[in-house]
Amino acid sequence: MRHIDIPAPGGTIPAQIFGAGPPVLFLMDAPGVRPVLVSMCQRIAASGHTVLLPNLYWRWCRESALDRCEFEKPDSAERTRIFGMANGLTNAMFAEDLPALLDAMGATPDNPASAVGYCMSGRFAMMALANHPDRVRVAASYYGTRMVLDTPDSPHLWYPKMREGRAYLAFAEDDHYVPLDRLPIIRAALEQGGLRHEIEVYPNTTHGFAFPDSRGYDAPGEARHWETLLPLLRRLTCSS
């Protein structure tokens, strides 16, 4: 693992990079970069990939010194601070960062990347595939939020234009951030574009099921997450 600084419009993005092989952009959830994410990146790297883990909050804090335990407390100042950054990170900001992140991994049409996102970054993984289909061929979103909005930049409005690559979207059965009545809208938008995709609802799960440090952690859900993610990444490796 190496720490790197990635030049970007307006500053530099601190990131960690792991392993060697086809590139994977691993995007943090709202609580930010922390040990459990590093362990997940190491696991993906061990399967034969270069994995980039950027600090998406670089505009607000260079160091990812966020308190995960305090974040779980409903009325804590840390929860308010973290959600302030998460809500402030717009689609336009991530779109601005994305070319630099792909450059840092060496993602090219001949060496295409996968993008993996959780919670707030599920939509960012989909954006990577939507905006750069020549450099990103796979997107995986786990309990991605804000997929259907009443705004011009709502992610579900990108999907009918997406035709190249493959997407996998997993949702929790009981998730107040992503009600299941949004899924038919997402499915219809993906089918309209013709993108190869799969949508799966994990039974008996809530938001955050893939992360052992989350209040919503679910061991079977985490296991299913790995069962779907690693073969998805290998499929790209075999086809590149």
Q: What is the pLDDT of residues 58-78, one digit of tens each?
A: 999 887 667 777 777 888 888
> What is the arithmetic mean of pLDDT over 115-135?
97
Fold of 2-239: Rossmann fold (3.40.50)
HEC string of 29-60 equals: CCCCCCHHHHHHHHHHHHCCCEEEEECCCCCC
Nearest Cα neighbor of 76 from 90, 63, 66, 88 is: 66
Positive or negative: CA dihedral 31, 33, 37, 41: positive
> What is the arithmetic mean of pLDDT over 157-178?
95
What pTM was estimated for this model as a whole?
Answer: 0.95
DSSP state at residue 150: S
Angle between helices 122-131 and 91-105 (to 10 degrees): 70
Domain boundaries, the chain: 2-239
Q: What is the pLDDT of residues 178-221, one digit of tens each?
A: 999 999 999 999 999 999 999 999 999 999 999 999 999 999 99
pLDDT at 240 exceeding the cut of 50:
no
Instruction: Answer whether 195's CB lies under 8 Å from 162's CB.
Output: yes
As a whole number of angstroms, the distance between CA 25 and CA 154 comes to 22
> What is the arithmetic mean of pLDDT over 22-34?
95
Report percent pLDDT > 90 for the chain: 86
